[in-house]
């Protein structure tokens, strides 16, 4: 799915950046320029980025998995509902 028409950025492009170490939306914008022209894609791009980050284990999570512990990823929107 194309997320940013101005810069031809897809959800796969965003997921690729996250898999390769992108840790902030500002960094994502520096790399892909997503949301830096008309800005109409910014909410969708941020949601796509947040979901991709939630699905990617952090270094701390990877250490837990290596020790045999299970890590469950929860999207930020769901976390907000769980926490209240």
- Residue matched to tokens 């952090």: 58
Interaction residues for ligand FES, span 9-38 (CB under 6 A): 34-38
Among 5, 55, 65, 78, binds ligand FES (CB under 6 A): 5
Tell me how far apart the alpha carbons of residues 53 and 39 are, in angstroms, rounded to a whole number: 21
Q: Interior CA angle at 55 toward 68 and 34, to 5°?
A: 150
Site string for ligand FES, 34-63 (x = CB under 6 A): xxxxxxxx----------------------
Instruction: Please report, as ranges, the residues that interact with ligand FES according to CB under 6 A.
Output: 4-7, 34-41
């Amino acid at each position: 799915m194309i997320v940013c028409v101005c810069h031809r950025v897809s959800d796969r492009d965003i997921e690729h950046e996250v898999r390769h170490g992108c840790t902030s939306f500002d960094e994502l914008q520096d790399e892909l320029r997503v949301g830096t022209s008309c800005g109409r894609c910014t909410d969708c791009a941020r949601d796509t980025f947040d979901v991709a980050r939630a699905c990617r284990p952090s270094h701390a999570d990877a250490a837990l998995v290596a020790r045999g512990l299970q890590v469950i990823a929860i999207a930020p929107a769901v976390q907000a509902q769980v926490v209240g």
